[in-house]
A and B are shown apart, each in its own frame.
Chain A
């Protein structure tokens, strides 16, 4: 167990956990318990507070995979960047990622009740993305898709990672079991201002003057 915990990584955007089945609680509980053994007292009180809402988890409407294999019960809270350079070690593991839904929601061929959603996240100036296979109900929770002047809904997805998916002709994907919204999307359209066009207008004007000079000179040479 302790060897495994070395693999835990704190996700960049720690999601709000009330009411979702996100696995952070399982980790939080374990962490707090071990810390409590060392510090006890005041820390124990916090542990109780964190553990309290746990009874409410099961009531959530999130899709839970009933056939979840016992050996995949260890969830790897990981970054999308890690999946972008994943080797076979990650293949078939249950992973949990947080990312922004970008682009479009694309219908899955043949199976009409599923959708492809592209999750992306930025790390050190590089943007990584991964394809997530989810139900149409889960995809409905996306209120905004990322694009120019929009930031898409930030989702937390827990599911099975496939390096070369046998069900989808070998794509790298995550089959989502649990999809929860961490942050709604935002829109920030460009504001129109005449001032922005001034440098361009001046440059174009100078350009046309030069062009005019050229044609005048050429006429004179004839």
Chain B
């Protein structure tokens, strides 16, 4: 086990700084600069997980964000553990704890692996086909499937980490810090453009950073030496901001981009504490240069998923960058020249390369010749037909390809190896380009989708634009950048470049085997465990669209969005269906490019910052007096004030009785208040309310009903005329903001000629409502100068007054049917005045009541609550409020709709009262009202909108909307509940004091 897989000659990993970490309970060591994947490989650990469906052993396969297998659970703290993290992207830190996910009980012995032996009966869509029927059984199956195939564990406690959001504006954003991105950023910054360069790795340089090869030289230096100097020069550029460990997640329209910066994920456990973990950058860039490079493709052949089978260029990075040997006897399998770079790197580091299996005919490019010179055997025009080894590859079987590439011929050669590097060519990372709505074109020569047209100010340069050879990458990146930025002076003129040219190209999407296709396991999507055979089966079953095949086989639907599998799936579909790949189109790549944490998405908007909490000026008093609170929109409103051990029902009964027997006090500050001024204020009110306002005297109040243009009740409230051209409108608590917006809309767009100004003053005034037969006495104690006789201060009127020298407005208005007053006073004084009222009311047993009692009291009087008794389908006529519709007014919002054929129907749902046969039976709000009990299905005629036990009437009361309700008065109806049917009688909506005697009591 302790074979030394580390080479000592390495520039990037600090081999003096040893780091300990745990994987599946075992303590292991790596070095600063390692990723979790490189450290595991250095410890000769390839097997890191089990596949999703068949539970086949799977190993690390790549070195980047496209990793499909090394998907691990990191951390074991119940609030910090994170599932589905890619070992290839996790920088090693002291104290890191990681474990395999998709295996039970352990990665080395997995119960689910029996699926592998039964795999012939687990074809594409097996789960859909088997477990979805009969439908009810899914609940049963799901438990077992989840247990044996889960993808990681969610944290069970709140995330303790801090996340952050910030905005960033720049002239040019360069995404990707490889050779193309570095050159583009330098050109932009040198030309006075405010430039930002981001890269998801901890260092810039991309793959050029470790490219030390005779075949790739710039100005007589190895390309890695050249790029190192370029990176050094970036630091002196004033206009350039460089962000490493920053991954671009999403590219939206108008060059709006989201990038996640990892700030502490690479730090040791004790260094992470109290620091911001990740920051989400919200970027607006005038221009975007995408230089995201390309990713290597796998090859699709029988048993291509064993641990130890790694993308060839990743093997190169592990040896050249991390100094880690992925094996001691490595074989390579390729369809292109890049695997030869790996062969040279391995050879330079003293790792023996068994052979290169190449599906092409013999080719003579610079780099191939160099490999041949090293004496490495090349199997031309050959393919791997099988691999062996259960938990780790131990040999491959090689055969010659037929001339047309569809079959294998000749004798099978067996070659022992402990690692197989595979390369199926390169796929440009066009994900961001397409996220932003860019259209792709297909290049047949090497089977790549390339950026074509875009509506945005962006370009793609380098490998993501289809340039794979060093000289093309440099030349085209520079030219495209200059053109895009409209710059003439060139920082990169006359570079002398040596670059190996690929001469021969050949591609076979699904490599043939000596076995029948049905007997092979050629994996396409490693994470979701779908095979080439599954895709072919889907096509045989009649699926044609790539989007359908994808969903049916789940190919490309795992957390990697099919980064490795999509091209082959498309290729196989195109080949099987006999269409051109370019015509088939691709599936859509959606943001985020790599998964984002929820923490990064929500940023600081957690806990008390999740939503605004609005509190009235008397809030603290309510808390001191043990109020329970109700959320009304963003407001916290006192709901009820339990005394001793009262429950809500008991408290509300007591409060309701007290308010009618003597005096109650309510915090009504949340009601919307709109200050209306201007010479056309009266005319404006005429147009927005159903009733007439011109004749309202100064100092008087009036109830108003506001409709939508469709004639349905929208909001209501009392408006007071403060002076000739000055009104104070009140709205419902929940409707305040929308009413103001609606009124502004009409003023600005339909009636710009009106001289009217609207100002929201909801937060400026606290509102104290005192009601009950003793309310007059209490008010007279607070404001002794005010004459409170019915003659001087009648119901529906208003007075300016002074309380302790503070101006306030007192309205005599009532929402309970009791004699009552509302004091409006500047918010900062509201609490002290409230306390004063409470003090003054003590001798009358003044009782604070909350929203629940308010609702009960108004229901006794049959007053509606817009939004509770109405739902956007009730006209004033439906609510028996014909009296408030002006017949004289020529027009108001919604007037014309009141006599549309539908609104004049007599059998509309209308507001009624309901009394239960048993006066102690309280109906449930929302319960249905029916006329028959012995019919199924029965017509639902309406529903209960408000229901309470009235302590003042000593019986249960309810409001309901019922079809044709007005004509049903006195009729028996039924409210069917789960276990019983409740008998009710339809009544008038006013239950208490029909003559309104109490208003002047």
The answer to whether A and B interact is no
Spell out A's residues near B (CB within 8 Å).
none
List residues of chain B with CB under 8 Å of any chain A CB.
none
